[in-house]
Structure 1
Amino acid sequence: MTRPVGPAVDSYPAKLPPSTSFTGRSVRLEKLDPRHTDDLYEAIGLPEYGALWNYIADGPFQDKEAFIPYIERISKSQDPYLYALIDQKSNKAMGFFSLMRIDQPNRVVEIGFVVFSPLLQRTTAATEAFYLITSTVFNDLGYRRFEWKCNDLNEASKKAAVRFGFKPEGVFRQHMIVKGQNRDTAWFSILDSEWPALSESFEKWLDPQNFDAEGKQRSTLVAFRGN
């Protein structure tokens, strides 16, 4: 009796996230460090930004005194491994995200812990930051699968995942309890075989010629993918 099996795959492990910085035209990614605390508190930690933390296991924060030890703690984490997003014009940290659930043997990693300043959301810098980290995941670290998971109620996150080229894989019902609330989790992924075409669409979208004098896009990222 025989049963089907998957194709053979090289079994070398993927690499761990690097501590080096990644620089684009509008944004720079740096390993999260306590030196980013002041900028991050002003960008995402103030009480009026409490809604940014709705779908994050931590936060919001009552004041800066509560925020400081939080950044100190998560900056030491190896999984999730966090990066601060630095605006190139102001040289200030405007948010952070992480590579997490790092599975080196199976070469699978997830983007998560995404908290961006409202000033960074839906900007060229946010898209470029995603492009920089995804290029690193596939081209430099050797992962086969890049995952995006979010609360199924988080419509903005789900739209961003699709815009960036992640493919929806379904919803894990009653997957987690977060802050005493049920979380159904929507799953998305990009495979290494899909990245070359997606990378080309990002490069075309990020080309300065795709933006007018006011910085508005001429063609959408999705248009460059042809879907």
Structure 2
Amino acid sequence: MSATNEYGQGVGAAVPGWEPRPRPEPVLLQGRHVTVEPLSSARYAELFAATCGDGDADLWTYRPIPRPGTLPELWMHLAAHLDDPALVTFALVPLEGDAAGTAAGIASYLRIEPAHGQVEVGGVLFGRALQRTRAATEAIHLLMRHAFDDLGYRRFEWKCDSRNEPSRRAARRLGFVEEGRFRNHMVTQGRNRDTDWFSVIDTDWPAVRTAHEQWLDPANFDAAGRQRRRLGELTAS
């Protein structure tokens, strides 16, 4: 709700008792279907196998670099994540399926602004074994839950190349609100990138969290693991 100050100007609503929030740290987040753990070099070979196979070039289309062709190339790419103080990067380790117990994807906290309670999940890369699984959805849920419930953040962002339709669908399915498009935002792999912005804010989160929990509930899946209700249906309601 907006307000008017003594000069007759519209101003934002007060945020009583606001203080800068803690900066995210590399923590272990344990779920029913996935473990989100701080990225370390011990997982690099698994990530290479999961995301850098001969048929995996399309996984890298919207990333800063093309698919690494060798483990040392991926090693240098991931080591740069660990060396960057602006990132907190996690390995995503499913607990079920063919990739159980091995790292099958990564995701990072970035654009971290503790003074304003804002953080983005980005650099999301799911290997084939992680795509369209309960583990993938739960991994993002755990990162959101940690930011909102443990750290007290007010805003959680998701951004993607405007041409990355699977990422756009994932954002909407997870309950993010589309906010707009930043034109000519970046040059990625020598190509222009317009970037679409999505967010969940603290007042959205209780309903989004409930929708995630309802979808992840074992009762929402039959004996063959098929969902009874779609997450997009739950977040839309």
Q: TM-score range by the shorter chain?
A: over 0.9
Assess if the C-alpha contact under 8 Å between 2:26 and 2:88 holds in 1.
no
Mean Cα deviation higher: 149-158 or 116-125: 116-125
Note the alpha carbon deviations across 1:12-68, whole angstroms, 9 max, x for none: 112211222111111000011000011000001234311111111133212122122
Residue number in structure 1 paired with 2:62:
55
How does the TM-score come out when normalised to structure 1? 0.95
Mean Cα deviation higher: 48-57 or 190-199: 48-57
CA distance in 1, matches of 2:146, 2:44: 25
Note the alpha carbon deviations across 1:124-166, whole angstroms, 9 max, x for none: 1111111111000100111111111100000000000000000
Residue number in structure 2 paired with 1:30:
37
CA distance in 1, matches of 2:65, 2:104: 18
- Between Structure 1 and Structure 2, how many residues are aligned? 227
Residue number in structure 2 paired with 1:91:
101
Gaps (5+ residues) in structure 2?
Answer: 1-6
Q: Match of 2:153, SS? A: coil
CA distance in 2, matches of 1:176, 1:22: 31
CA distance in 1, matches of 2:169, 2:106: 19
Q: Match of 1:75, SS? A: helix
Residue number in structure 2 paired with 1:137:
147
Establish whether residue 181 from structure 1 lines up as the match of residue 191 from structure 2. Answer: yes
Q: Match of 1:193, SS? A: coil
The equivalences for 1:61-140 within 5 A come to 61-89=68-96, 90-140=100-150
Q: 1:21 aligns with which of 25, 28, 43?
A: 28
Residue number in structure 1 paired with 2:12:
6
Assess if the C-alpha contact under 8 Å between 1:84 and 1:97 holds in 2.
yes
Q: After TM superposition, give the deviation of residue 222 of structure 1 in Å.
A: 2.5
How does the TM-score come out when normalised to structure 2? 0.92
CA distance in 2, matches of 1:25, 1:142: 23
Q: After TM superposition, give the deviation of residue 72 of structure 1 in Å.
A: 2.4
Gaps (5+ residues) in structure 1?
Answer: none
The equivalences for 1:157-176 within 5 A come to 157-176=167-186
Assess if the C-alpha contact under 8 Å between 1:47 and 1:63 holds in 2.
no
Q: After TM superposition, give the deviation of residue 226 of structure 1 in Å.
A: 4.9
CA distance in 2, matches of 1:4, 1:77: 39
Residue number in structure 1 paired with 2:225:
215
Q: Match of 1:61, SS? A: coil
Assess if the C-alpha contact under 8 Å between 1:46 and 1:61 holds in 2.
no
CA distance in 1, matches of 2:233, 2:77: 40
Q: Match of 1:105, SS? A: coil
Q: Match of 1:59, SS? A: coil
